[in-house]
C-alpha cells in the first residue's frame, strides 16, 4: 500500500483526538469537515481512474467537506451556542478512552485475516479507531449538535471500510450511504430546532421532559 493513503489515514486518526479534546463547536465542525475532505481523496489513490471513482470522490467531498459542515454552521448560528459546556465525561478521560480504543484498533486490526495488500496499511485500524471515536462523541456529549458530529465521525469510519470495497460494491449502495447521512443531518436539524424552541437548550437530557 502506497504512502499517500496511509498519510491521509494518519491525519484522520489525529483529527479524532483533536475533536475528542476540544469543546468549541466551530472547531469541531471544521475538523470533521477536514476529516471528511481527506477521506474523499482515498478512492483516487486506491482505485483506477474511472468515472465511478471520480464521482464517488467528488460526491464525498461535496457532502462531507462542504454541505454537511455548512448545515451545521447554520444550525449553531440559529441556536447561538459556541461550545459543549458540560460533557457527560470530561475531555481528558475522553481522550484517554480514545487512546485506548485506538490502541485496541491497531491490535485487533493486526489479528484480522486481511489481503496481502492491506496487511501493512492503516485502513482497518483507522476505520475501527474512527468508529470508536464517533461512538465516544455520541455517548460522552450532551449537545445534540456534538452528537451529530459523532454520528458523522462514525460514518467516516464506515466510509473507510467502504473505500476498500468500492470496486466490488454496487454504485447505488455507496451513494446510498452518503444520502442516508444527508437525510440524517436534516432530521437532526429539525430535532435541534424543536428542542431549542421548546426549552431554549440543546442539552439532550432535556428530552426526558418532552410530552406529546
Between CA 12 and CA 32 the distance in angstroms is 9
pLDDT one-digit tens code per residue, 96-115: 999 999 999 988 877 776 66
Mean pLDDT, the chain, whole residue set? 78
pLDDT one-digit tens code per residue, 20-44: 988 888 899 999 999 999 998 988 8
Query: Rg of the Cα trace of the chain?
Result: 18
pLDDT one-digit tens code per residue, 161-197: 878 766 555 554 455 566 656 656 665 665 566 555 5
The pLDDT-based confidence of 84 (bands split at 50, 70, 90) is: low
Q: What is the rounded average pLDDT of the residues 67-80?
A: 79
What pLDDT score was predicted for residue 68?
83
Between CA 29 and CA 104 the distance in angstroms is 26
Between CA 47 and CA 204 the distance in angstroms is 41
Residue 57 and residue 41 in contact, taking contact as beta carbons nearer than 8 Å: yes
Name the most confidently modeled range: 14-18, 84-88, 110-114.
14-18
Count Cα neighbours of 63 within 13 Å in the Cβ-side half-sphere.
24
For residue 197 the three cell numbers come to 424552541
How far is residue 113 from each of residues 32, 118, 126, 144, 162, measured CA to CA in Å? 30, 10, 16, 38, 17
Q: Note the Cα 176 to chain centre separation in Å.
A: 16
How far is residue 87 from each of residues 32, 91, 194, measured CA to CA in Å? 18, 8, 21
Between CA 153 and CA 133 the distance in angstroms is 7
Q: Which of 152, 146, 23 is nearest to 79 (CA)?
A: 146
Q: Give pTM, 2 decimals.
A: 0.80
Torsion over CA: 178, 63, 31, 79 (sign): negative
Virtual CA dihedral for 71, 72, 74, 76, nearest 10 degrees? 160
Q: Which residue has the higher pLDDT, 80 or 210?
A: 80
DSSP secondary structure string for all residues of 74-119: HHHHHHT--B--S-SS-HHHHHHHHHHHHHHHHHHHHHS---GGGT
Amino acid at each position: 500500500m502506497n504512502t499517500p493513503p496511509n498519510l491521509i489515514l494518519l491525519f484522520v486518526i489525529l483529527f479524532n483526538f483533536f475533536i475528542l479534546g476540544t469543546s468549541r463547536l466551530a472547531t469541531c465542525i471544521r475538523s470533521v469537515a477536514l476529516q471528511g475532505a481527506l477521506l474523499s481523496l482515498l478512492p483516487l489513490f486506491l482505485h483506477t481512474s474511472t468515472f465511478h471513482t471520480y464521482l464517488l470522490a467528488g460526491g464525498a467531498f461535496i457532502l462531507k467537506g462542504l454541505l454537511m459542515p455548512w448545515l451545521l454552521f447554520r444550525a449553531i448560528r440559529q441556536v447561538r451556542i459556541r461550545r459543549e459546556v458540560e460533557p457527560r465525561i470530561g475531555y481528558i478521560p475522553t481522550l484517554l478512552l480514545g487512546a485506548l480504543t485506538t490502541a485496541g484498533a491497531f491490535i485487533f486490526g493486526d489479528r484480522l485475516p486481511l489481503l496481502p495488500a492491506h496487511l501493512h496499511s492503516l485502513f482497518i485500524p483507522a476505520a475501527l479507531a474512527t468508529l470508536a471515536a464517533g461512538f465516544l462523541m455520541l455517548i460522552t456529549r450532551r449537545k445534540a449538535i456534538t452528537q451529530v458530529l459523532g454520528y458523522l465521525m462514525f460514518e467516516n469510519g464506515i466510509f473507510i471500510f467502504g473505500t476498500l470495497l468500492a470496486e466490488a460494491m454496487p454504485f447505488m449502495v455507496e451513494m446510498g450511504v452518503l444520502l442516508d447521512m444527508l437525510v440524517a443531518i436534516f432530521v437532526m436539524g429539525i430535532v435541534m430546532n424543536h428542542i431549542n424552541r421548546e426549552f431554549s437548550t440543546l442539552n439532550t437530557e432535556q428530552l426526558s421532559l418532552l410530552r406529546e
